[in-house]
Amino acid sequence: MFYIGNLIFLGNYYSAIYNMLQNKQDHMNINWKTTNHITKIDPAKSFPTDIGVLEDTDLVIIGGSDGVTRADTETTIQQIRESFPDLPLVQEPYAPVQISSETTANVDWIIVPVVFNGDRDHFVGNHVRMLSQLGSDLEGLLGQDISVMDVVEKLVPVGYVIQNINSKAATIAGVSEPLSVAQVRGAALATEILYDFPVFYVDYAERFGGTADTVAAATYFEDTALLYSGGIDSAQKATDVLAAGADGVIVDKCFHEDVEAFTRTTRISPSQRTLE
């Protein structure tokens, strides 16, 4: 049953989100001129022996949807925060169980993907369900040392397009087909004009998708940051995507599987790190 308390909480939540998005770039407090290389770490996967390789990344996202536990998440976030106290740290939780008082205290932002080409749950249903759980059983989920607003103040909605239908993310989100270039352009316009999300994210998972979607999405963005993920395993690919209009490239698979390739991705052309 959906209680009145849930409705009150959701009303407060959306009011807070509205207020935060009035100045959305200041809310994230990210300088996208210098935040071009982003590493996404899956807590359920093994790490390089030397995580010092993260010294050359500009921001870290912690998240994964397959087999990620609260304990894994807390351990990973704590390890990164202790090793790199000044590195911007973002959590991308798939379920409320991955959020705790420890994770909330140690991350700068918590991103909430809104999947444009997925099923209803991944566009809005899961968000309502997660926020309902937080509103009705905050203490049970997160403990006594945290308030609803401690979580809400760090939430950042992200417009999200999944373009590799063979990926795990596509299966989970109910994505049956990728968007065309024209549809990506439309989703980008909706992100900028209708929803006012601070970030738009094009995800090709482990496959490099080229630059067409990036060029299309970048057409309409003035305030929204554009991120690309998928098959980035060299400096050239990273540089090409940034040159096409992305604000940041997200590197994930090779961080876990090929440290040498990961290191190459950090060698982005200096000219791309200073683009207006």
**For residue range 191-243, what is the model confidence (pLDDT) as tens digits?**
999 999 999 999 998 899 999 999 999 988 988 999 999 999 999 999 999 99
Would you say residue 19 has pLDDT above 60?
no
pLDDT value of residue 269: 62
pTM: 0.84
Which position has the token pair 């040159």?
Answer: 243
- What local confidence, expressed as pLDDT, does residue 13 receive? 47
Q: What percent of the chain is predicted at pLDDT more than 90?
A: 55
The full DSSP string for the chain is ---HHHHHHHHHHHHHHHHHHTTHHHHHT--TTT--EEEEE-TTS---S-GGGGGG-SEEEE--SSS--HHHHHHHHHHHHHH-TTS-EEE--SSGGG--HHHHHH-SEEEEEEETTS-HIIIIIHHHHHHHHHHH-HHHHH-SS--HHHHHTTEEEEEEEE--TTSHHHHHHT--SPPPHHHHHHHHHIIIIII--SEEEEE-TTS---SHHHHHHHTT-SSSEEEEES---SHHHHHHHHHTT-SEEEE-HHHHH-HHHHHHHT---GGGGG--
Task: Flag whether pLDDT at 16 surpasses 60.
Answer: no
Tokens of 265: 């991705």
pLDDT at 143: 58
What integer pLDDT is reported at residue 139 of this predicted model?
58
Residue 10 above 80 pLDDT? no
Mean pLDDT over residues 39-46, rounded? 94
pLDDT tier at 182, thresholds 50, 70, 90: very high
Collect all residues with Cβ–Cβ distance below 8 Å to 3 and sequence separation of at least 6: 136
pLDDT digits (tens, 9 = 90+) for 105-146: 999 999 989 999 988 877 777 777 776 766 665 555 565 566
